[in-house]
């Protein structure tokens, strides 16, 4: 599972990977969870092996392996967002982290229609 610390960044992250059309036309759910902070591993920008990974682009095999390794060692990983450089993303595998977070709220997501205007 891939999520962001704030809803606006989450919307941008999904839009980058799926597009605003998918956010507008396929039902999505926005979820707020609480996590015990000591259980979160923070990846500082200086810890990322290749600084280009912090710039927009198609994820490389190295990036994917780096993320997989982090998730094999930690239930929750906080990593800088490439889409919104002042924001952070929280990565976790739902089945592995089950019981380590609590759902605070969940609601259907509704995209602002100005983000997917008619052609």
Does the residue 96 lie in any domain?
yes
Euclidean distance between CA atoms 27 and 33, whole angstroms? 20
Distances (CA, A) of 44 to 26, 48, 54, 71, 107: 34, 7, 11, 15, 31
Q: Name the domain count of the chain.
A: 1
**pLDDT at residue number 6:** 83
Euclidean distance between CA atoms 22 and 14, whole angstroms? 9
pLDDT tens across the length of the chain (119 residues) = 445 578 888 899 889 989 999 999 999 999 999 998 888 999 999 999 999 999 999 999 999 999 999 999 999 999 999 998 889 999 999 899 999 999 999 999 999 999 999 98
**pLDDT at residue number 2:** 46
Query: Are the C-beta atoms of 88 and 4 separated by less than 8 Å?
Result: yes
Q: Domain range for residue 57?
A: 2-111
Does the residue 35 lie in any domain?
yes
Distances (CA, A) of 51 to 25, 34, 38: 35, 30, 26
Does the residue 118 lie in any domain?
no
Residue 91 has which token pair? 């990565």
Query: Are the C-beta atoms of 87 and 9 separated by less than 8 Å?
Result: yes
Residue 57 has which token pair? 């682009």
**pLDDT at residue number 85:** 86
Does the residue 117 lie in any domain?
no
**pLDDT at residue number 39:** 87
pTM: 0.85
Does the residue 119 lie in any domain?
no
Euclidean distance between CA atoms 20 and 17, whole angstroms? 9
Does the residue 78 lie in any domain?
yes
């Amino acid at each position: 599972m891939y999520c962001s610390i704030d809803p606006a960044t989450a919307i941008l992250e999904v839009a980058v990977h799926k597009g605003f059309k998918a956010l507008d036309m396929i039902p999505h759910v926005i979820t707020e969870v609480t996590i015990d902070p000591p259980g979160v591993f923070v990846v500082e920008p200086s810890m990322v092996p290749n600084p280009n990974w912090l710039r927009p682009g198609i994820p490389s095999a190295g990036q994917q392996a780096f993320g997989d390794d982090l998730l094999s060692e930690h239930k929750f990983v906080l990593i800088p967002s490439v889409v919104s450089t002042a924001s952070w993303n929280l990565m976790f595998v739902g089945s592995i982290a089950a019981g380590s977070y609590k759902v605070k709220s969940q609601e259907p997501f509704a995209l602002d229609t100005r983000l997917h205007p008619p052609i």
